[in-house]
Amino acid sequence: MLILIVNNYGQFNHLIARSIRDRVEGKMISNQTPADEIQADGLILGGGPSIDRAGRCKEYLTSLEIPMLGICLGMQLMGTTFGGSVGPGTIGGYAQVDVEIIDEDEVLKGLPSRISTWASHADQVIELPEGFRRLARSNVCEIEALRHESKPLFGVQWHPEVVHTEYGGELLENFIEICRR
């Protein structure tokens, strides 16, 4: 089993890769890697400073048929690629955000209804794309997590790979299980 982590120049991308490598084979790749060169069981679209520097991520989302987890910017890329909107949030820097899980789904399976997370909301999905449903919300963001209705595409605004996020390891384990199918 191999899960690739797309480096979108975010400060936590190496930590995402480490969190995956602690569980299964994981490798970080450039966001300039051609989609036809990606041979993996799953893909994580990491965070980063801006959609403008996200390389070929939109191509991955529309052409690859493997499970994908978008983290922070990765979730925002899912939103815009499929017709949703991203806008500025109320919290620009990283901070603790209490998230309410409203639809457990398979990626959030087994998590409590409220968790404490570490997230930045400088930008966030403000309009859900067609074909997606909301999985979680908070008092600072109405769309903290989402998933595609029929494709294995999942996104979270928070960072499950950091120790400040409760149940982050369980979320990553759930994604790994999705990739095993």
Q: Which residues are catalytic?
A: 72, 159, 161
What angle is formed at CA 25 by the lines to CA 24 and CA 29, rounded to 5 degrees?
A: 130
Angle at 49 between CA 105 and CA 82, to 5 degrees: 45
Residue tagged 């903290």 (tokens): 144
Give Dmax (Cα) for the chain.
40
Radius of gyration in angstroms for the set of CA atoms belonging to the chain, rounded to a whole number:
14
| Locus of tokens 């602690």 | 22
Nearest to 120 by CA among 89, 78, 154: 89
